[in-house]
């Protein structure tokens, strides 16, 4: 039997709404749960078995755990290169069981030892039923104790100090209720949210993975607010990405759809600039947005509310007011221009090569 099992859960768990089954199986197997970015939030991220996201911008504990595993139960996962890093070096020592409703996903990118073509919810329920029939219940193992130590070493600190993207996102989690819905744009803002915004209730985190469409977060927030009007909705945005669909401020005001937009503003196309910094000798090209526009005044021009904050304390106060507002609030949060998303796995490299 496996001594170091890991469950890797992807977007298929969301589509199947197999949240309860996933958690039940993880607890029966005493197996830690890592997720792909598209699977973020399928398990409450404050659960003792939750590792967070794996991959290019995965959490340290998640990447280390999956690379040390000897068995992976992959559920609704595509095994994209953003998840695996260099495919040839992904989890050589692990046997992989792959559950997916789409047979074309099985063995597409990684070798699979046991393929199961099925809906995630039904497959997990069948496994649970069989384990219960056999009276199976795994006790806490050395592997879980090792995972606990790893998680403790990598635990996020409380928000405090300077106004940074990471601190702003941690503060947002502190302010919002569990049921609040968070969307993201695409770029550094998305990966900071992936790393540092803990999803506590399944299905409350919405982002564009796969295609990765800049400008997604704001219209997605409006749609979420229409669907669930009594729940706070916040878009974690970057300045470059928000500019792709900022004209929907008109929609939010005209149609009376109040949401909050937290713009992490480094006045640049930050993810591209980070790559230019890390991998191209700081040869910056067309990534500096030179402080354009004034987001607070832009929001006001549309009839929304705009605020530029200067400290974490001010941000907390504005956030608490914004989520209760009857009009959309755009919060301009100036962050350091060279604040990087870390960890990062360089393109074409193994998860073991992550830069922290």
Q: What pLDDT digit, counting tens, does each position of 197-244 carry?
A: 999 999 999 999 988 999 999 999 999 999 999 999 999 999 999 999
Q: How much is the pLDDT for 137? A: 85
Torsion of CA 221, 224, 225, 228, to 10 degrees: -160
Which backbone phi and psi does 116 adopt, to 5 degrees? -130, 110
Whether 191 contacts 212, CB under 8 Å: no
Consecutive H or E run containing 96: strand 95-100
Where do the CATH 3.40.50.1220 domains begin and end in the chain? 5-155
CATH code that applies to domain 5-155: 3.40.50.1220
Q: Can you tell me the mean pLDDT for 173-201?
A: 98
Query: Which phi-psi region, left, alpha or beta, contains residue 85 (left: φ > 0; alpha: ψ -120 to 50)?
Result: left
Whether 336 contacts 268, CB under 8 Å: no
| Number of Cβ atoms within 10 Å of the Cβ of 92 | 9
pLDDT reading at 196 higher than 90: yes
Q: Can you tell me the mean pLDDT for 268-274?
A: 98
CA distances from 323 to 78, 123, 172, 206, 345 (A): 35, 39, 11, 17, 35
d(CA 329, CA 341): 26
d(CA 338, CA 277): 9
Q: Can you tell me the mean pLDDT for 263-269?
A: 98
Residues in the chain: 356
CATH code that applies to domain 165-334: 3.40.50.970
Is the pTM value of this prediction over 0.85?
yes
Q: Which of 43-57, 150-164, 183-197, 255-269 bottoms out in mean pLDDT, i.e. has the lowest?
A: 150-164
Where do the CATH 3.40.50.970 domains begin and end in the chain? 165-334
Encode burial over 32-62: b for 16+ CB neighbours within 10 A, e otherwise.
Answer: bbbbbbbbbbbbbbeeebbbbbbbbbbbbbb
């Amino acid at each position: 039997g496996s001594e170091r099992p890991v469950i890797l859960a992807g977007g298929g768990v969301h589509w199947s709404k197999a949240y309860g089954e996933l958690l039940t199986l993880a607890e029966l197997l005493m197996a830690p749960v890592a997720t792909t970015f598209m699977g973020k939030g399928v398990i409450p991220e404050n659960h003792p078995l939750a590792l967070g996201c794996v991959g290019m911008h995965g959490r340290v504990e998640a990447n280390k755990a999956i690379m040390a595993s000897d068995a992976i139960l992959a559920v609704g996962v595509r095994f994209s290169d953003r998840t695996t890093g260099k495919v040839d070096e992904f989890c050589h020592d692990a046997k992989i069981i792959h559950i997916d409703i789409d047979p074309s996903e099985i063995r597409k990118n990684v070798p699979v030892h046991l393929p199961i073509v099925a809906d995630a919810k039904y497959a997990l329920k069948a496994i649970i039923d069989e384990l219960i029939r056999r009276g199976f219940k795994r006790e806490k193992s050395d592997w879980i104790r090792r995972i606990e130590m790893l998680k403790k070493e990598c635990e996020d600190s409380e928000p405090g100090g300077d106004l940074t993207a990471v601190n702003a996102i941690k503060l947002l989690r502190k302010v919002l209720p569990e049921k609040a819905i968070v969307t993201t744009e695409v770029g550094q803002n998305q990966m900071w949210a992936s790393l540092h915004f803990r999803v506590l209730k399944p299905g409350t985190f919405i982002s564009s993975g796969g295609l990765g469409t800049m400008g997604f977060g704001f219209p997605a927030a409006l749609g979420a607010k229409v669907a669930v009007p009594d729940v706070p909705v916040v878009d974690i945005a970057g300045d470059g990405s928000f500019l792709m669909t900022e004209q929907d401020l008109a929609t939010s005001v005209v149609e009376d759809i109040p949401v909050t937009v937290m713009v992490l503003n480094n006045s640049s196309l930050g993810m591209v600039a980070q790559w230019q910094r890390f991998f191209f000798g700081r040869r910056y090209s067309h990534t500096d947005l030179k402080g354009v526009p004034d987001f607070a005044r832009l929001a006001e021009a549309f009839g929304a509310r705009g605020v530029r904050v200067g400290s974490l304390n001010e941000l907390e106060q504005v956030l608490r007011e914004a989520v209760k507002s009857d009009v959309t609030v755009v919060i301009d949060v100036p962050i350091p221009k060279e604040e990087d998303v870390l960890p990062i796995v360089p393109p074409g490299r193994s998860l073991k090569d992550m830069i922290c």
